Chains A and B, each alone.
Chain A
Amino acid sequence: MNIMNLISALPGAVAQGLVWGIMAIGVYITFRILDIADLTVDGTLCTGGAVCIMLMQSGQNVWVSMALALIAGMLAGMATGLLHTFMGIPAILAGILTQLGLYSVNLKIMGKANQAINVDKFDLLVSLRFIKGVPFYKNTILLVTLMIVFLIVFLYWFFGTELGCSLRATGCNDKMARAQGINTDFNRVLGLMISNGLVALAGALLSQYQGFADINMGRGAIVIGLAAVIIGEAIFGKVFRNFGFRLLGVAFGSIIYYFVLQIVIWLGIDTDLLKLLSAVVVAVFLAIPTWKSRYFSKPAHKEGV
């Protein structure tokens, strides 16, 4: 248990945490703003990676590939949105259906379960090789940080517009939203599209970073996304009240998640158990609001029945 091993692993954890931070911001939009737990993302993450890798292999520019990955993710979000609103399927089930369908779609995009991309042959934007010993403008940590800042500024602007406000109202109280003339179905679809677009973008970055896209790369992504959202809120919720800072908190939450993950790996825990560990941690954090109100709230009238 050499502490240097841990320290040398940390920059990688930061980079990965940042990439997953984009994904977590996408999850925040559905989970916190629309009040939907959208399971589509487990499939969308791979879709983003698959589209990006296959396009780059065919000689496309990295930015074009990532833009198309984002659009592919938005289409997946639209599928879930239409299943939910137009076909009246509960949101969770709609997400599961799209996710299952995406498994086939992703296989067809890639042609097989795994597609690698060589960092030496292709002009990748991010890579685990671009963390140390590269000019600063190629540094993955810097580039992804800039992307996150840009994204947060964009989302901050968007959720302050008339359309963005109506989307927040839809998630908060759809009865009120409709009474105020807001098309709640349209807004739900739009929110799912934005969210899944971001998740696919994260998938595109992740597959470049790790040098391959894999059919299973999105398994449990929703849990990691939720973990980042919850950690971010638990640690920064009191400090970050402003919407933009809340999104920043989510990105930080994702970095902290990967820090903890690195420490757990460094401690020598069986890595097969990592997903179980994540699931347990997220379950406990999700339970906290319920436990708080059930076991730790003070009764208003002690003498009452």
Chain B
Amino acid sequence: MLEIRNISKTFNPGTVNEKRALKNVSLTLEDGDFVTVIGGNGAGKSTMLNAIAGVWPVDAGHILIDGEDVTRLPEYKRAAFLGRVFQDPMNGTAATMGIEENLALALRRGQSRTLRAGIKNQEREVYKRLLATLGLGLEERLTSKVGLLSGGQRQALTLLMATLKKPKLLLLDEHTAALDPKTAAKVLETTEMIVNRDKLTTLMITHNMKDAIVHGNRLIMMMDGNIILDIRGEEKKNLTVEDLLHKFEEVSGEEFASDKAILG
């Protein structure tokens, strides 16, 4: 479904702030894979997701989605294949627009925007039904401005928007990190529900090792712009946090530094 071939990205090349964020990263995702991504700050997790989304061009390498080379496609064109949820709940929705308007924008992802009505009456029924599955009561507030919603509500709505038009690949960039633990758990539960229901190929970054182990069928760990661990199948199912820490020390030769990742 997704194939990354030897991509590299360096920020601020030739300056004192030069940062080699991705070093020859390759990764192949099978159809229906739910991959969790962990790693410390600056490991290159978000950079990899942004490279796939096309936020900026990569320096080298190729990115293929469903066999199609998208390396040169601008961000807004690649969006046709991708559903994205960001870390900051403010980023995924348009605050001054209504819930239904946001959903209508998402429904038209990958289509050219015409002079037809921006939202049709029969869509509203679909939106109501889908919003009801979130269990947040948003189905009664179709015309409310999204700016009035809480972070958790906005994140759940963004998740719905990202998957309203079935994406070939769902990119979740620490989408629960800004939420309180209870809300985070709820949003993760919703994520699991939608991914399973629509059998979505998913790449989910998380800071939380336990979440990374519990969710998905495959786990990768990044460090210094490289993928240093790739655990799948039976091995992933039986994985514990201790195993993961042990493996990390084995591969990297250092201790895992982030308490947040272990305890969180």
Interface residues of A, Cβ cutoff 8 Å to B:
158, 160-166, 168-169, 172-173, 175-184
Contacts and interface: CB of A to CB of B under 8 A. Distances in A.
Contact of B94 (A162, A168, A181): A168
Nearest to A169: B94
Contacts, number: 87
Given A165-B101, A166-B105, A182 B94 contact: no
A31 to B, nearest CB: 14
B97 A172 contact: yes
Instruction: Identify whether the interface residues of B are mostly helix, strand, loop, or mixed.
Output: loop
B95 interface: yes
Interface of B: 53, 75-77, 79-80, 82, 84, 86, 90-97, 101, 104-106, 108-111, 113-119, 161-162
A247 B161 CA distance: 30
Contacts of B80: 181
B110 A181 contact: yes
Contacts of B76: 177-178, 181-184
A181 B109 contact: yes
A178 B92 contact: no
Contact of A161 (B90, B92, B116, B161): B116
A165 B104 contact: yes
A184 B109 CA distance: 13
A191 to B, nearest CB: 13
A267 B14 CA distance: 64
A172 B97 CA distance: 8
Contacts of A161: 113-118
Contact of B118 (A160, A175, A178, A181): A160
B145 to A, nearest CB: 10
B122 to A, nearest CB: 15
B190 to A, nearest CB: 18
Nearest to A170: B94
Contact of B108 (A158, A176, A181): A181
B161 A180 contact: yes
Contact of B92 (A166, A168, A176, A181): A176
A176 B96 CA distance: 13
A148 to B, nearest CB: 22
8 contacts: A166-B105, A173-B94, A175-B86, A176-B91, A178-B75, A179-B84, A179-B86, A180-B108
